[in-house]
Chain A
Amino acid sequence: AQTVTQSQPEMSVQEAETVTLSCTYDTSESNYYLFWYKQPPSRQMILVIRQEAYKQQNATENRFSVNFQKAAKSFSLKISDSQLGDTAMYFCAFMNTGNQFYFGTGTSLTVIP
């Protein structure tokens, strides 16, 4: 069975600084997909970034980038130039080729003005 682990329940960062959220996963599959979702206080789930396991290049989306280490089964999210609107719960998620999703327990990020 696949598992996703987020070892940082809470984190904080100063506005305009950079923060990295950690995620590790366990799977025996070779082809899969990884995601970071953001859940602000409104509880709406918003896709931040996705990564295909077969791609070596790390995905980037504006201020968000990932460090994907397939051998280490690690998938961290880096947020640059943090903004107040980045305050949210962040979930790491794994999807196998059967479209089954597995989520981590989340990291609550607070951006401090």
Chain B
Amino acid sequence: DSGVTQTPKHLITATGQRVTLRCSPRSGDLSVYWYQQSLDQGLQFLIQYYNGEERAKGNILERFSAQQFPDLHSELNLSSLELGDSALYFCASSVWDSGSTDTQYFGPGTRLTVL
């Protein structure tokens, strides 16, 4: 158990819908990272927040947005869902802002299925 929690574990929804994935980092961690793992595109970095502020952006679609709240939990919002958005979404946390020296601890992931 990494100490990172993600809810829900599984999510099934229809195309065109909007969902929110939630992540609670390890106690004391200020950074949160979001990743998408799909069969056809592998593991992709989406976005990083540090202490409430966006720090790095990867291949995140405009239909997706994220934020980190004052209590440091983070939410990833996915809207106008398409079949191709079906994937495993990981959240990871680390103590500081440096992805290079900080160990990222991954949560168990949220499995999103879009029908």
Contacts and interface: CB of A to CB of B under 8 A. Distances in A.
Interface of A: 33, 42-47, 50, 52, 91, 93, 95, 97-106
B90 A101 contact: no
Interface in B57-74: 57-58
A103 B99 CA distance: 14
A49 to B, nearest CB: 11
B115 interface: no
Interface string B67-102: 000000000000000000000101010000111100
A93 B45 CA distance: 10
Given A102-B45, A104-B42, A95 B106 contact: no
Contacts of A100: 45, 56-58
B56 A98 contact: yes
A43 B109 contact: yes
B90 to A, nearest CB: 6
Per DSSP, chain B at the interface is strand
B27 to A, nearest CB: 19
A98 B44 CA distance: 15
10 contacts: A33-B100, A43-B108, A50-B100, A52-B100, A95-B99, A99-B97, A99-B99, A102-B45, A103-B43, A106-B42
A45 B35 CA distance: 11
B109 to A, nearest CB: 6
Contact of A45 (B44, B99, B106): B106
Interface string B34-63: 010000001111001000000111100000
